[in-house]
């Protein structure tokens, strides 16, 4: 297997020179994925024969389109507020529409354009990581990256549009019908399949930022993982873990990773357990608005997960009892295992998938009141704008740089002497959000 190697330096300057005009390289956009071998992010730091190549050339076989900033302005109506979908740690997201007038052969479809806020170096690195990973990984449960723009200081990403937005919006928004049990189990299975694919790839990938806001939903509630900015190549050879800076999101990161900086696929399994717990309880992993004992979801709920009598106490009241009891017990037992303090006792993601498959049949759901589900405005882009995002934009000022008042803050790294990064009592976990 030939492993393509590129170095960051070979990419970054070429980006700032401007994009390779797509017209001049139309064939690269449509070349076959099969001719493209995945290279590891680690390879980015090695000198190689590809010094003179730029990003678009390096990713030539990936089917990614290279857009100009002008083109993205046109498709988003100059990033108009009417097209605003939301805002995350890296910048604003707008809806746009592409078709073959933009590029011959391009399927007519809505897209989401993420415009990175380039105030910190971190943003660029994460943008690059995302492009490189998503260019090479394709799966029904990973969001599809259609293309990117790298023009002067501008860094944008163009994804397939996911009509139902994020699981976070769907699960925690206040004024809506709650997600039914069957849909929750479908989302859990889809997201588990996405993670299992990453962990079992020829070159395994650790996702590192598994959380409700990074699970996007299509119109049928198929879950797709987005945001690969923190993804890491898994350990190779005899290595048991990757030593790295502690990055991720408070409330979702595995305790051993936070303490030691040792990252394994089992860190993702822990985060999966947190999201499964959020699906069962309808509560956020961290919620400062609750009583002190209940603010940390895992600490509060984990002891009750394996207790059949107590499980009912933590189940989401918005389900109004409309869930399979057997299914809930199995899902709770699975969450319990995923949330084990000992990484080795957690199941592999492929086992998680196997456990969740049978939970898709929900024959023993009690027959309750008839709920008529309507697709309301809340499923449209304006929902994000009207609820979470416009709120968080205001909160941004109030909250002194915290973009999501109610969201779990991302952790920033602390660098130790030996370059291993560790969280102690002064850890960023206990401090404020990443900010940008």
Ligand X SMILES: Nc1ncnc2c1ncn2[C@@H]1O[C@H](COP(=O)(O)OP(=O)(O)OP(=O)(O)O)[C@@H](O)[C@H]1O
Residue 222 found at the interface with ligand X (CB under 6 A):
no
Distance from CA of residue 430 to its chain's centroid?
22
> 118 or 333: whose CB is closer to Mg ion?
118
Pick the piece of the chain touching Mg ion (CB under 5 A) from 65-73, 180-188, 205-213, 296-304. 205-213
Options 87, 126, 151, 233; binder of ligand X; rule CB under 6 A: 87
Residue 324 found at the interface with ligand X (CB under 6 A):
no
Residue 85 found at the interface with ligand X (CB under 6 A):
yes
Residue 213 found at the interface with ligand X (CB under 6 A):
yes
Pick the piece of the chain touching Mg ion (CB under 5 A) from 38-46, 81-89, 267-275, 311-319. 81-89
Q: Does 239 participate in catalysis according to the annotation?
A: no
Which among 155, 154, 139, 158 is positioned nearest to 29, based on CA atoms?
158
> 103 or 434: whose CB is closer to ligand X?
434
Options 76, 166, 170, 267; binder of ligand X; rule CB under 6 A: 166
Whether 217 and 179 have beta carbons less than 8 Å apart is answered as no
Q: How far is the CB of 393 from ligand X (least distance, A)?
A: 12
Q: How far is the CB of 340 from ligand X (least distance, A)?
A: 25
54, 209, 227, 384: which one is catalytic? 209
- Residue 167 DSSP class: H
Pick the piece of the chain touching Mg ion (CB under 5 A) from 119-127, 199-207, 209-217, 264-272. 209-217
Q: How far is the CB of 307 from Mg ion (least distance, A)?
A: 34
Strand order of the sheet with strand 91-98?
Answer: 65-66, 145-151, 154-160, 109-116, 91-98, 84-88
Q: Residues 212-251: x/- map of binding to Mg ion (CB under 5 A)? A: -xx------------x------------------------
Q: How far is the CB of 297 from ligand X (least distance, A)?
A: 17
Total chain residues near ligand X (CB under 6 A): 23
> 71 or 126: whose CB is closer to Mg ion?
126
Measure the CA–CA gap between 33 and 30, rounded to whole angstroms: 9
**Four-residue CA torsion sign, 431, 341, 229, 79:** negative
Q: How far is the CB of 110 from ligand X (least distance, A)?
A: 8
Query: Strands (DSSP E) along 171-212, which ranges?
Result: 205-206
Residue 227 found at the interface with ligand X (CB under 6 A):
yes
Measure the CA–CA gap between 184 and 335, rounded to whole angstroms: 14
What are the φ and ψ backbone dihedral angles of 191, each rounded to 5 degrees?
Answer: -65, -40
Q: Which residue has the tokens 């119109």?
A: 219
- Residue 300 DSSP class: H
> 124 or 241: whose CB is closer to ligand X?
124
Which among 303, 307, 308, 295 is positioned nearest to 339, based on CA atoms?
303
Options 22, 165, 251, 347; binder of ligand X; rule CB under 6 A: 165
Q: How far is the CB of 97 from ligand X (least distance, A)?
A: 13
Pair of tokens at residue 104: 């011959």
Residue 87 found at the interface with Mg ion (CB under 5 A):
no
Measure the CA–CA gap between 272 and 184, rounded to whole angstroms: 13
C-beta contacts of 236-245 below 8 A and 24+ residues apart: 240/264, 242/206, 243/420, 244/420, 244/421, 245/413, 245/414, 245/415, 245/421
Options 19, 216, 301, 411; binder of ligand X; rule CB under 6 A: 216
Q: Which helix (H) or strand (E) holds 427?
A: none
Distance from CA of residue 157 to its chain's centroid?
14
Which residues, listed in sequence order, are joined to residue 151 by a DSSP beta bridge?
Answer: 154
* Contacts to ligand X from residues 131-150, by CB under 6 A: 143
Q: What residue 85 binds from Mg ion, ligand X, none (CB within 5 to 8 A, per partner kind)?
A: ligand X
Residue 207 found at the interface with ligand X (CB under 6 A):
no
Residue 88 found at the interface with ligand X (CB under 6 A):
yes
Pair of tokens at residue 336: 């319990």
What are the φ and ψ backbone dihedral angles of 225, each rounded to 5 degrees?
Answer: -80, 135
Measure the CA–CA gap between 388 and 320, rounded to whole angstroms: 24
Residue 29 found at the interface with ligand X (CB under 6 A):
no
Chain residues in the site for Mg ion (CB under 5 A)? 88, 213-214, 227
Residues marked active site are found at 209
Chain residues in the site for ligand X (CB under 6 A)? 85-90, 93, 112, 114, 143, 159, 161-162, 165-166, 169, 213-214, 216, 226-227, 384, 410
């Amino acid at each position: 297997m030939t492993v393509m190697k590129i170095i960051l330096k070979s990419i970054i300057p070429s980006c700032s020179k401007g994009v390779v005009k797509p017209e001049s390289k139309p064939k690269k956009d449509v070349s076959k994925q099969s001719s493209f071998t995945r290279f590891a992010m680690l390879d980015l730091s090695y000198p190689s024969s590809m010094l003179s190549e730029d990003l678009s050339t390096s990713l030539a076989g990936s089917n990614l389109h290279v857009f100009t900033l002008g083109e993205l302005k046109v498709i988003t109506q100059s990033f108009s507020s009417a097209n605003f979908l939301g805002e995350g740690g890296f910048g604003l997201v707008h809806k746009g529409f592409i078709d073959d007038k933009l590029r011959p052969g391009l399927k007519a479809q809505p897209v989401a354009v993420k415009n990175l806020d380039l105030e910190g170096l971190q943003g660029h690195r994460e943008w690059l990581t995302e492009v490189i990973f998503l260019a090479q990984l394709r799966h029904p449960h990973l969001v599809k990256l259609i293309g990117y723009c790298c023009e002067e200081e501008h860094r944008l990403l163009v994804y397939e549009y996911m009509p139902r937005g994020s699981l976070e919006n769907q699960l925690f928004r206040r004024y809506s019908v709650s997600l039914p049990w069957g849909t929750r189990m479908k989302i859990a299975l889809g997201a588990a399949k996405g993670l299992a694919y990453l962990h079992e790839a020829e070159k395994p990938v650790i996702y590192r930022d598994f959380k409700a806001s990074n699970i996007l939903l299509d119109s049928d509630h198929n879950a797709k993982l987005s945001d690969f900015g923190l993804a890491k190549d898994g350990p190779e050879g005899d290595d048991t873990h990757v030593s790295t800076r502690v990055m991720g999101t408070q409330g979702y990161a595995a305790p051993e990773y936070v303490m030691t900086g040792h990252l394994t696929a089992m860190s993702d399994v822990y985060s999966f357990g947190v999201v499964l717990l959020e699906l069962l309880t309808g509560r956020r992993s961290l919620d400062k608005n609750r009583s002190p004992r209940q603010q940390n979801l895992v600490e509060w709920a984990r002891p009750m997960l394996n207790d059949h009598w107590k499980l009912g106490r933590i189940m989401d009241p918005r389900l109004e009892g409309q869930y399979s009891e057997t299914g809930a017990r199995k899902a709770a037992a699975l969450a319990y295992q995923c949330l084990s303090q000992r990484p080795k006792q957690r199941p592999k993601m492929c086992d998680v998938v196997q456990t969740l498959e049978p939970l898709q049949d929900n024959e023993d759901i009690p027959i309750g009141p008839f709920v008529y589900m309507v697709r309301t405005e809340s499923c449209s882009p304006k929902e994000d704008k009207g609820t979470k995002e416009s709120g968080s934009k205001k909160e941004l000022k109030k909250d002194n740089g915290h973009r999501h008042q109610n969201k779990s803050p991302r952790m920033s790294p602390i660098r130790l002497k030996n370059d291993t990064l560790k969280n102690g009592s002064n850890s960023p976990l206990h401090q404020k959000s990443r900010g940008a």
